[in-house]
Protein backbone atom coordinates (compact mmCIF):
# COMPACT_ATOMS: atom_id res chain seq x y z
CA UNK A 1 0.00 0.00 0.00
CA UNK A 2 0.94 3.67 -0.36
CA UNK A 3 1.18 5.69 2.83
CA UNK A 4 2.44 9.11 3.82
CA UNK A 5 4.88 8.32 6.60
CA UNK A 6 8.12 9.44 8.22
CA UNK A 7 11.21 7.57 9.33
CA UNK A 8 12.41 10.15 11.84
CA UNK A 9 10.56 13.04 13.53
CA UNK A 10 10.87 16.56 12.22
CA UNK A 11 9.10 19.27 10.28
CA UNK A 12 6.42 18.69 7.65
CA UNK A 13 9.06 17.82 5.07
CA UNK A 14 9.77 14.47 6.75
CA UNK A 15 6.47 13.16 5.41
CA UNK A 16 7.04 11.09 2.27
CA UNK A 17 4.99 8.57 0.33
CA UNK A 18 6.24 5.05 1.13
CA UNK A 19 5.32 1.65 -0.24
CA UNK A 20 4.57 -0.42 2.87
CA UNK A 21 3.19 -3.90 3.54
CA UNK A 22 -0.58 -4.13 3.57
CA UNK A 23 -1.91 -4.41 7.15
CA UNK A 24 -3.74 -7.59 8.14
CA UNK A 25 -6.75 -7.16 10.45
CA UNK A 26 -6.26 -8.81 13.84
CA UNK A 27 -9.11 -10.40 15.81
CA UNK A 28 -11.80 -7.78 16.39
CA UNK A 29 -10.45 -5.47 13.67
CA UNK A 30 -11.65 -4.38 10.25
CA UNK A 31 -9.47 -3.45 7.28
CA UNK A 32 -10.45 -0.13 5.73
CA UNK A 33 -9.71 1.04 2.23
CA UNK A 34 -9.24 4.67 3.17
CA UNK A 35 -10.82 7.35 0.98
CA UNK A 36 -10.16 10.41 3.15
CA UNK A 37 -8.33 11.28 6.38
CA UNK A 38 -8.60 14.42 8.47
CA UNK A 39 -5.54 16.47 9.41
CA UNK A 40 -5.21 17.99 12.87
CA UNK A 41 -2.68 19.36 15.32
CA UNK A 42 -2.54 15.91 16.94
CA UNK A 43 -1.03 14.55 13.71
CA UNK A 44 1.50 17.37 13.58
CA UNK A 45 2.60 16.55 17.13
CA UNK A 46 3.05 12.90 16.16
CA UNK A 47 5.14 13.90 13.16
CA UNK A 48 7.27 16.16 15.38
CA UNK A 49 8.06 13.27 17.74
CA UNK A 50 5.23 12.93 20.26
CA UNK A 51 4.02 9.34 20.66
CA UNK A 52 0.53 8.55 22.01
CA UNK A 53 0.35 6.19 24.97
CA UNK A 54 0.44 2.53 24.02
CA UNK A 55 1.83 3.07 20.51
CA UNK A 56 5.08 1.16 19.81
CA UNK A 57 8.04 3.44 18.91
CA UNK A 58 8.59 1.91 15.47
CA UNK A 59 9.23 3.43 12.04
CA UNK A 60 8.04 4.18 9.42
CA UNK A 61 5.27 5.92 11.37
CA UNK A 62 2.01 6.94 9.67
CA UNK A 63 0.02 9.85 11.14
CA UNK A 64 -3.74 10.22 11.01
CA UNK A 65 -6.38 9.26 13.58
CA UNK A 66 -9.67 9.97 11.77
CA UNK A 67 -10.78 8.54 8.45
CA UNK A 68 -13.53 7.42 6.12
CA UNK A 69 -13.42 4.52 3.71
CA UNK A 70 -14.76 1.15 2.60
CA UNK A 71 -14.49 -2.06 4.63
CA UNK A 72 -12.09 -4.30 2.68
CA UNK A 73 -11.78 -7.29 5.04
CA UNK A 74 -12.84 -8.53 8.47
CA UNK A 75 -10.59 -9.87 11.19
CA UNK A 76 -11.52 -13.01 13.13
CA UNK A 77 -14.54 -12.62 15.37
CA UNK A 78 -15.97 -9.51 13.73
CA UNK A 79 -19.70 -9.40 13.12
CA UNK A 80 -22.18 -6.64 12.39
CA UNK A 81 -19.92 -5.06 9.77
CA UNK A 82 -19.97 -6.12 6.12
CA UNK A 83 -17.21 -6.07 3.54
CA UNK A 84 -18.01 -3.24 1.15
CA UNK A 85 -19.70 -1.08 3.78
CA UNK A 86 -18.90 2.63 3.74
CA UNK A 87 -17.78 3.78 7.19
CA UNK A 88 -16.04 6.55 9.10
CA UNK A 89 -14.14 6.24 12.32
CA UNK A 90 -11.21 7.01 14.55
CA UNK A 91 -7.99 5.48 15.87
CA UNK A 92 -4.56 6.65 17.01
CA UNK A 93 -2.29 6.51 13.96
CA UNK A 94 -2.20 5.14 10.44
CA UNK A 95 -4.94 6.93 8.53
CA UNK A 96 -2.69 8.59 5.93
CA UNK A 97 -2.62 5.35 3.97
CA UNK A 98 -4.52 3.37 1.38
CA UNK A 99 -5.29 0.68 3.98
CA UNK A 100 -5.84 0.84 7.73
CA UNK A 101 -6.67 -1.87 10.29
CA UNK A 102 -8.71 -0.61 13.27
CA UNK A 103 -10.97 -2.11 15.94
CA UNK A 104 -14.45 -2.75 14.56
CA UNK A 105 -15.99 -0.80 17.47
CA UNK A 106 -14.29 2.40 16.25
CA UNK A 107 -16.21 2.69 12.97
CA UNK A 108 -19.80 3.64 12.19
CA UNK A 109 -21.80 3.64 8.95
CA UNK A 110 -21.29 6.57 6.62
CA UNK A 111 -24.55 7.98 5.27
CA UNK A 112 -24.62 7.76 1.46
CA UNK A 113 -25.16 11.52 1.17
CA UNK A 114 -22.15 12.43 3.33
CA UNK A 115 -19.21 13.38 1.06
CA UNK A 116 -15.98 11.46 1.60
CA UNK A 117 -13.99 14.56 2.50
CA UNK A 118 -16.49 15.55 5.19
CA UNK A 119 -16.67 12.01 6.55
CA UNK A 120 -12.88 11.69 6.65
CA UNK A 121 -12.48 14.87 8.68
CA UNK A 122 -15.56 14.47 10.86
CA UNK A 123 -14.71 12.34 13.88
CA UNK A 124 -12.00 14.30 15.69
CA UNK A 125 -13.53 17.76 15.61
CA UNK A 126 -17.08 16.59 16.23
CA UNK A 127 -16.25 14.22 19.07
CA UNK A 128 -13.80 16.60 20.74
CA UNK A 129 -16.36 19.40 20.72
CA UNK A 130 -19.10 17.12 22.04
CA UNK A 131 -16.90 15.79 24.85
CA UNK A 132 -15.70 19.28 25.79
CA UNK A 133 -19.24 20.62 26.01
CA UNK A 134 -20.29 17.67 28.14
CA UNK A 135 -17.51 18.69 30.55
CA UNK A 136 -18.43 22.37 30.55
CA UNK A 137 -22.21 21.73 30.54
CA UNK A 138 -23.46 25.11 29.27
CA UNK A 139 -27.14 25.50 30.18
CA UNK A 140 -29.89 27.42 28.42
CA UNK A 141 -29.45 31.10 29.13
CA UNK A 142 -25.76 30.81 30.01
CA UNK A 143 -22.96 32.34 27.95
CA UNK A 144 -20.15 30.22 26.52
CA UNK A 145 -16.95 31.80 25.20
CA UNK A 146 -15.27 29.81 22.39
CA UNK A 147 -11.75 30.73 21.29
CA UNK A 148 -10.60 29.58 17.86
CA UNK A 149 -14.26 29.23 17.00
CA UNK A 150 -13.89 28.96 13.21
CA UNK A 151 -11.69 25.87 13.40
CA UNK A 152 -12.88 22.27 13.18
CA UNK A 153 -13.64 21.85 16.91
CA UNK A 154 -14.96 25.37 17.33
CA UNK A 155 -17.32 25.04 14.38
CA UNK A 156 -19.04 22.08 16.01
CA UNK A 157 -18.90 23.48 19.55
CA UNK A 158 -20.62 26.71 18.48
CA UNK A 159 -23.47 24.79 16.84
CA UNK A 160 -23.98 22.30 19.66
CA UNK A 161 -23.92 24.99 22.36
CA UNK A 162 -26.29 27.26 20.45
CA UNK A 163 -28.67 24.34 19.88
CA UNK A 164 -28.61 23.68 23.63
CA UNK A 165 -29.83 27.22 24.29
CA UNK A 166 -26.56 28.87 25.31
CA UNK A 167 -25.41 32.24 24.06
CA UNK A 168 -22.10 31.72 22.27
CA UNK A 169 -19.41 34.40 22.05
CA UNK A 170 -16.93 33.30 19.39
CA UNK A 171 -13.44 34.73 18.90
CA UNK A 172 -12.01 34.65 15.39
CA UNK A 173 -10.44 36.76 12.70
CA UNK A 174 -12.82 39.28 11.11
CA UNK A 175 -13.01 37.35 7.83
CA UNK A 176 -14.66 34.48 9.75
CA UNK A 177 -17.27 36.59 11.54
CA UNK A 178 -20.07 36.15 8.99
CA UNK A 179 -19.44 32.39 9.02
CA UNK A 180 -19.77 32.29 12.81
CA UNK A 181 -22.95 34.35 12.75
CA UNK A 182 -24.41 31.75 10.39
CA UNK A 183 -23.56 29.07 12.95
CA UNK A 184 -25.38 30.94 15.71
CA UNK A 185 -22.57 32.79 17.49
CA UNK A 186 -21.79 36.41 18.36
CA UNK A 187 -18.30 36.95 16.88
CA UNK A 188 -15.58 39.13 18.37
CA UNK A 189 -12.12 39.85 17.00
CA UNK A 190 -8.82 38.72 18.51
CA UNK A 191 -6.19 41.20 19.63
CA UNK A 192 -5.68 43.88 22.28
CA UNK A 193 -8.87 44.74 24.12
CA UNK A 194 -10.40 41.28 23.62
CA UNK A 195 -11.64 41.02 27.21
CA UNK A 196 -13.48 44.34 26.92
CA UNK A 197 -15.08 43.31 23.62
CA UNK A 198 -16.30 40.06 25.17
CA UNK A 199 -17.70 41.93 28.20
CA UNK A 200 -19.57 44.25 25.85
CA UNK A 201 -21.01 41.26 23.96
CA UNK A 202 -21.90 39.46 27.21
CA UNK A 203 -23.18 42.07 29.66
CA UNK A 204 -24.46 39.36 32.03
CA UNK A 205 -21.04 37.71 32.19
CA UNK A 206 -19.38 34.59 30.80
CA UNK A 207 -20.19 31.31 32.50
CA UNK A 208 -17.85 28.91 30.69
CA UNK A 209 -15.04 28.96 28.11
CA UNK A 210 -13.70 26.53 25.53
CA UNK A 211 -10.15 27.51 24.60
CA UNK A 212 -8.97 26.48 21.15
CA UNK A 213 -6.28 29.15 20.85
CA UNK A 214 -4.22 29.19 24.06
CA UNK A 215 -1.88 31.92 25.22
CA UNK A 216 -3.49 35.33 25.55
CA UNK A 217 -6.92 33.95 24.66
CA UNK A 218 -6.75 31.55 27.60
CA UNK A 219 -5.69 34.43 29.84
CA UNK A 220 -8.85 36.28 28.82
CA UNK A 221 -10.93 33.23 29.79
CA UNK A 222 -9.27 33.17 33.20
CA UNK A 223 -10.17 36.83 33.65
CA UNK A 224 -13.80 36.44 32.61
CA UNK A 225 -14.93 33.05 33.98
CA UNK A 226 -15.27 32.88 37.76
CA UNK A 227 -15.29 29.07 38.09
CA UNK A 228 -12.08 27.68 36.62
CA UNK A 229 -13.61 24.20 36.46
CA UNK A 230 -15.73 25.63 33.65
CA UNK A 231 -12.73 26.50 31.49
CA UNK A 232 -11.41 23.79 29.16
CA UNK A 233 -8.34 24.15 26.97
CA UNK A 234 -7.74 22.14 23.83
CA UNK A 235 -4.19 23.39 23.36
CA UNK A 236 -2.52 24.66 26.55
CA UNK A 237 -2.39 21.27 28.29
CA UNK A 238 0.83 22.13 30.09
CA UNK A 239 -0.89 24.94 32.01
CA UNK A 240 -4.07 23.07 32.91
CA UNK A 241 -3.05 21.55 36.24
CA UNK A 242 -1.47 24.68 37.65
CA UNK A 243 -4.45 26.79 36.60
CA UNK A 244 -7.08 24.33 37.80
CA UNK A 245 -8.81 24.13 34.41
CA UNK A 246 -9.97 21.16 32.37
CA UNK A 247 -8.66 19.29 29.36
CA UNK A 248 -10.66 16.96 27.12
CA UNK A 249 -10.88 13.43 28.55
CA UNK A 250 -10.38 10.42 26.24
CA UNK A 251 -14.03 9.51 25.77
CA UNK A 252 -14.38 8.98 22.02
CA UNK A 253 -16.77 6.16 21.14
CA UNK A 254 -18.72 4.75 18.23
CA UNK A 255 -21.99 5.62 19.97
CA UNK A 256 -20.97 9.26 20.34
CA UNK A 257 -19.77 9.40 16.75
CA UNK A 258 -22.96 7.82 15.41
CA UNK A 259 -25.10 10.36 17.25
CA UNK A 260 -23.10 13.23 15.76
CA UNK A 261 -23.29 11.71 12.27
CA UNK A 262 -27.06 11.57 12.71
CA UNK A 263 -27.12 15.30 13.51
CA UNK A 264 -25.19 15.98 10.31
CA UNK A 265 -27.46 13.73 8.29
CA UNK A 266 -30.49 15.68 9.50
CA UNK A 267 -28.87 19.06 8.68
CA UNK A 268 -28.47 19.97 12.34
CA UNK A 269 -24.66 20.04 12.22
CA UNK A 270 -22.68 21.84 9.54
CA UNK A 271 -19.10 20.83 8.69
CA UNK A 272 -16.81 22.98 6.55
CA UNK A 273 -13.83 21.51 4.67
CA UNK A 274 -11.62 24.38 3.61
CA UNK A 275 -9.08 22.42 1.54
CA UNK A 276 -8.22 18.90 0.45
CA UNK A 277 -4.76 17.55 -0.36
CA UNK A 278 -3.61 14.44 -2.18
CA UNK A 279 -1.78 11.82 -0.13
CA UNK A 280 1.49 12.89 -1.77
CA UNK A 281 0.95 16.45 -0.45
CA UNK A 282 0.48 15.55 3.23
CA UNK A 283 3.45 17.75 4.12
CA UNK A 284 1.64 20.76 2.64
CA UNK A 285 -1.48 19.84 4.60
CA UNK A 286 0.59 19.88 7.81
CA UNK A 287 2.10 23.24 6.92
CA UNK A 288 -1.36 24.73 6.52
CA UNK A 289 -2.69 23.26 9.77
CA UNK A 290 0.36 24.45 11.69
CA UNK A 291 -0.33 28.08 10.75
CA UNK A 292 -3.12 27.89 13.34
CA UNK A 293 -5.46 29.82 11.07
CA UNK A 294 -8.25 28.91 8.75
CA UNK A 295 -11.89 27.99 8.70
CA UNK A 296 -13.01 24.40 9.21
CA UNK A 297 -11.10 21.27 8.29
CA UNK A 298 -8.11 20.22 6.20
CA UNK A 299 -8.46 16.73 4.69
CA UNK A 300 -6.23 14.31 2.78
CA UNK A 301 -7.96 12.39 -0.01
CA UNK A 302 -6.74 9.00 -1.20
**In this predicted model, what pLDDT tens digit does every residue of 217-243 receive, in sequence order?**
999 999 999 999 999 999 998 899 999
For the full predicted model, state whether its pTM sits above 0.75.
yes
Round to the nearest angstrom and report the end-to-end CA distance of the chain: 11
> How many whole angstroms separate alpha carbon 215 and alpha carbon 107?
35
Q: Percent of the chain having pLDDT more than 90? A: 96
Mode of pairing for the β-strands spanning 297-301 and 208-211 = unpaired
Dmax over Cα atoms in the chain, in whole Å? 59
| Topology classification of domain 125-243 | Rossmann fold (3.40.50)
Q: What is the DSSP string of 232-291?
A: EESS-HHHHHHHT-B---S---HHHHHHHHHHHHTTSS---EEEEEEGGGHHHHHHHHTT
Q: Is the pLDDT of residue 141 over 90?
A: yes
Domain with CATH 3.90.180.10 in the chain: 2-122+272-301
DSSP conformational letter for 30: E
pLDDT score, position 239: 92
> How many whole angstroms separate alpha carbon 151 and alpha carbon 295?
5
Domain with CATH 3.40.50.720 in the chain: 125-243
Name the pLDDT band for 53 (thresholds 50, 70, 90): confident
In 3D space, the residue among 28, 52, 32 whose CA is nearest the CA of residue 40 turns out to be 52
- Tens of pLDDT, residue by residue over 6-44, are 999 999 999 999 999 999 999 999 999 999 999 999 999
Q: Percent of the chain having pLDDT more than 70? A: 100
Average pLDDT, the chain: 96
Q: Is the pLDDT of residue 292 over 90?
A: no
Instruction: Provide CATH code, domain 2-122+272-301.
Output: 3.90.180.10
Amino acid sequence: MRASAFTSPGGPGVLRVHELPDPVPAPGQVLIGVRAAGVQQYDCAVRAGWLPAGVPPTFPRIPGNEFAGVVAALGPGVSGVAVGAEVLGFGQLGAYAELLAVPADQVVPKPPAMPWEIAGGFSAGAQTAHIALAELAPEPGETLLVHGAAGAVGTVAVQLAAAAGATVIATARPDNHDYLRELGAIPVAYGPGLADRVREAAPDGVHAALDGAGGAALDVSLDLVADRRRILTLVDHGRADELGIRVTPALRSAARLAALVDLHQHARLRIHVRRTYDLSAAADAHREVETGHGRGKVVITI
